[in-house]
């Protein structure tokens, strides 16, 4: 019985040694995590976070050919509580459903056709969807950046109807 117990004990030790010897531990590299904690650049004003730009009723006769458009309608994006310790400049990127170079009208019943929405930088130059706007310099406190939009004819014929569109914006600090 004693020999049987010794054999069982020796077998258990041998099995344990085999299990442990199959694994080797070594350090293969190091991961360093780096960064910094900074003041938040700004916060988007609640008043301009979700806004409506009202074009009103626009006459079909105002469109006289492809790439002609209505007068610009300005809309602000206001940044509040800006600290310029870390970031001193800002760009805004608008994203939405594209229709050529323009923002496509929302799909809905009785939608106008042959028209899209063009976005413009504060200086009036075209602002392509999905690209950063012209750079604006921040001041400490509140900053208002006035972008603009207008309807643009983008097809040979224009039909009457609803002309609504939607874009999302992202603010990037530099």
φ, ψ for residue 123 (rounded to 5)? -85, 5
Query: Which token pair is 143?
Result: 């900053």
The answer to whether residues 148 and 134 touch, using CB atoms and an 8 Å cutoff, is no
Does the CA dihedral 13-17-20-25 come out positive or negative? positive
Spell out the per-residue pLDDT of the chain, length 174, in tens.
Answer: 555 555 555 655 555 555 555 566 677 877 888 877 766 789 999 999 999 999 999 999 999 999 999 999 999 999 999 999 989 999 999 999 999 889 999 999 999 999 999 999 999 999 999 999 999 999 999 999 999 999 999 999 999 999 999 999 999 999
Query: Which token pair is 64?
Result: 């006289």
What's the pLDDT score for residue 1? 53
The answer to whether residues 93 and 172 touch, using CB atoms and an 8 Å cutoff, is yes
**What is this structure's pTM?**
0.76
**C-alpha–C-alpha distance, residues 138 and 45, integer Å:** 15
Query: How many Cα atoms occupy the beta-carbon half-sphere of 106 within 13 Å?
Result: 8
What's the pLDDT score for residue 30? 75
Residue 77 CB partners (closer than 8 Å, separation 6+): 44, 45, 48, 92, 144, 145, 147, 169, 171
Task: Classify the phi-psi angles of 100: left when phi > 0, otherwise alpha if psi is within -120 to 50, otherwise beta.
Answer: left
Q: With CA atoms as reference, report the closest residue to 77 among 117, 47, 103.
A: 47
**C-alpha–C-alpha distance, residues 75 and 113, integer Å:** 24
| Domain annotation for the chain: domains and CATH numbers | 43-173 (2.60.40.1090)
């Amino acid at each position: 019985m004693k020999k049987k117990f010794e054999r069982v004990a020796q077998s258990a030790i041998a099995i344990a040694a085999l299990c442990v010897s199959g694994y080797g531990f070594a350090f293969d590299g190091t991961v360093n995590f780096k960064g910094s904690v900074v003041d938040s650049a700004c916060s988007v004003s609640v008043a301009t976070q979700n806004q409506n730009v009202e074009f009103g009723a626009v006459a079909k006769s105002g469109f006289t050919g492809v790439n002609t458009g209505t007068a610009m309608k300005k809309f602000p994006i206001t940044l509040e509580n800006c600290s310029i310790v870390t970031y001193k400049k800002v760009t805004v990127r608008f994203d939405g459903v594209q229709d050529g170079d323009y923002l496509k009208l929302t799909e809905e019943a009785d939608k106008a056709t042959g028209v899209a929405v063009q976005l413009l930088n504060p200086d009036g130059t075209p602002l392509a969807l999905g690209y950063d706007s012209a750079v604006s310099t921040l001041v400490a406190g509140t900053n208002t950046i006035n972008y603009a939009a207008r309807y643009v004819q983008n097809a040979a014929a224009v039909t009457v109807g609803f002309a609504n569109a939607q874009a999302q914006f992202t603010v990037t600090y530099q």
